Amino acid sequence: MNFNTPYIGKRCIAFGISMCISASAFAVDSLRVSMDDVLQKALLNSKYIERARLELKEQEILVQQKRSDLLPKISLRGSASYATNMPIYENGIFNKPAQHDVIHYLYDTGADFYLNLYNGHRDLMSIKSQKLVKEIANIDWLAASGKIKMDVCNLFLDLQLCYSNKDLIMNDIADQKEQLKEVKNLYKAGAVLHSDVLRIELELSKREMLLIKIKNDIQATNKELQLITGIEEIIVPSKHVFDKTLLDFGEMFAEAKKSAFILQRSEHEVNLKKIAIKQAESNYLPTVGFTGTYTFANPQIFLYPYNDSWYSLGIIGLKASIPISAIYNNKNVVRASRVSYDKEKVNHHHEEEIIENKLLKAHLDYKLAIEQKEVCLKNVDLAKENARIIKNRYFKSAALVTDLLDADMQYLQTLFELESATVAIQKHYYFIEFIKGTI
């Protein structure tokens, strides 16, 4: 690292020129966006969210279909047929029969009507059950949106980290080149060995390779974000200001029990199983309905004596049925429904335990990341001071070139670690928000 004032001025000028060139390139081929912009585009273009939205729409239509089942059943009918003469074997089947004339042309038209009055409230429970399925689809849609948000936040932060690391390594490469010039001047003056020049050139080459790797990471992360968001330009993240804090673990878990996607879904699954028990028990109950039929037909063969004239007839009444066989056929259905309900309740409590464990681990990781950032801040100051001391000693021939290179690399590494710790805090925060269902 070069800490001499003249070289710092040169670096600032060079860095300013490079930033101007980069800005002009960005204006043509790239798009500078904030995290909120990326999230908004991802929610509009994500195929996962669109699929979940269509599933929700499908369930809404099915609820409407279940409601329409409460309406009366009405049907129209009509038929036309031809009947042959009816042979009567008065002298046995092996003798010639007599032919009995019948009315040959038969017409029948009419309408049938049925309105269910009571069937153990199975229709109403079916509607209620379908509404719960719709609510589950809505939770799945929210969970898909939350997952996309978390993934986009992570990718955005990874991209931001890559760009930060790129700036750090480019500044360090510029610094190393200036330092290499100084060492070469000392070599020409006979103050250092040629091996020192070679070692510094080797380290510079390693940094240039690291810069290429970082650029490849930027390109790969950019591609992932472009696929999710539908953005065609190269994404350049704006500096994301993170000023959020978390509650204590008890309050977070209480909030997660109300809002977590998995727990909300599990709770609705329990309610579905509870309704299934009532539906199974309703199979014991009778069915009562209002029925009606209207007939306009020819010939009249409904009442004796028959004739070939057109007639009309309307019949209305109540129809009731009692499922006697359900006493023995439905018993195991009810038992299985109750066992399924108990199993779903156990699963719901198990999901609560899983959420609690995930939330606790994520909370501890978040606290650890904050502590790591504090340590990294101290390490940056220590490494910077160490690099300054070693550099002064080296140019006074009191330290080896390996010490100089190690000090420079330690300082660069602490800067990388500080950026990574800063990003890690934000990633843990968004993961906790996703677990809680409040992202």
Q: 367-381: per-residue pLDDT in tens? A: 999 999 999 999 999
Two tokens at 57? 């729409």
Task: Give the chain as a 3 state SS string.
Answer: CCCCHHHHHHHHHHHHHHHHHHHHHHHHHEEEECHHHHHHHHHHHCHHHHHHHHHHHHHHHHHHHHHHCCCCEEEEEEEEEECCCEEECCCCCCCCCEEECCCCEEEEEEEEEEEEEECCCHHHHHHHHHHHHHHHHHHHHHHHHHHHHHHHHHHHHHHHHHHHHHHHHHHHHHHHHHHHHHHHHHHHCCCCCHHHHHHHHHHHHHHHHHHHHHHHHHHHHHHHHHHHHCCCCEEEECCCCCCCCCCCHHHHHHHHHHHCHHHHHHHHHHHHHHHHHHHHHHHHCCEEEEEEEEEEEECECCCCCCECCCEEEEEEEEEEECCCCHHHHCHHHHHHHHHHHHHHHHHHHHHHHHHHHHHHHHHHHHHHHHHHHHHHHHHHHHHHHHHHHHHHHHHCCCCCHHHHHHHHHHHHHHHHHHHHHHHHHHHHHHHHHHHHCCC
Task: Please report the pLDDT score of residue 2 as a whole number.
Answer: 41
Return the CATH number of 5-71+121-285+325-436, one of 1.20.1600.10, 1.10.340.30, 3.20.20.70, 2.40.50.100. Answer: 1.20.1600.10
* Helix 122-188 / helix 5-29 crossing angle, nearest 10 deg: 140
Answer with the residue of higher pLDDT: 35 or 13: 35
Two tokens at 183? 């060492």
Answer with the residue of higher pLDDT: 69 or 30: 69
Average pLDDT, the chain: 84
Please say if the pLDDT value at position 27 is more than 50: no
CA angle 133, 139, 140 (to 5 degrees): 90
Please say if the pLDDT value at position 1 is more than 50: no
pLDDT confidence tier of residue 19, bands split at 50, 70 and 90: very low
Beta carbons of 60 and 131 less than 8 angstroms apart: no
Please give the span between the terminal C-alpha atoms of the chain, in angstroms, as a whole number.
42
Answer with the residue of higher pLDDT: 404 or 146: 146
Q: What is the pLDDT of residues 267-276, one digit of tens each?
A: 999 999 999 9
Task: Please report the pLDDT score of residue 109 as a whole number.
Answer: 93
Q: What is the pLDDT of residues 113-167, one digit of tens each?
A: 999 888 888 888 888 998 898 888 888 888 888 888 888 889 999 999 999 999 9
Most confident of 167-181, 345-359, 399-413: 345-359
Please say if the pLDDT value at position 335 is more than 60: yes
Dihedral-angle region of residue 399 (phi above 0 means left; psi in -120 to 50 means alpha; beta otherwise): beta
Lowest mean pLDDT among 92-106, 157-171, 203-217: 92-106
Task: Please report the pLDDT score of residue 30 as a whole number.
Answer: 67
Q: Average pLDDT for residues 85-92, to the nearest whole number?
A: 84
Beta carbons of 285 and 303 less than 8 angstroms apart: no
Q: What is the pLDDT of residues 175-193, one digit of tens each?
A: 888 878 877 887 787 777 7
Domain boundaries, the chain: 5-71+121-285+325-436, 73-118+287-321
- The pairing of strands 73-82 and 105-118 is antiparallel
Most confident of 103-117, 230-244, 394-408: 103-117
pLDDT confidence tier of residue 111, bands split at 50, 70 and 90: very high
Task: Please report the pLDDT score of residue 9 as a whole number.
Answer: 43
Handedness of CA 409, 414, 420, 423 (dihedral sign): negative
- The pairing of strands 98-100 and 86-88 is antiparallel
Lowest mean pLDDT among 82-86, 281-285, 346-350: 82-86
Q: Quote the percentage of the chain above a pLDDT of 70.
A: 93
Task: Please report the pLDDT score of residue 29 as a whole number.
Answer: 65
- Report the candidate in 433, 419, 253 with the shortest Cα–Cα distance to residue 352: 253
Q: Quote the percentage of the chain above a pLDDT of 90.
A: 25
Q: Average pLDDT for residues 1-30, to the nearest whole number?
A: 44
Rounded to two decimals, the pTM is 0.75
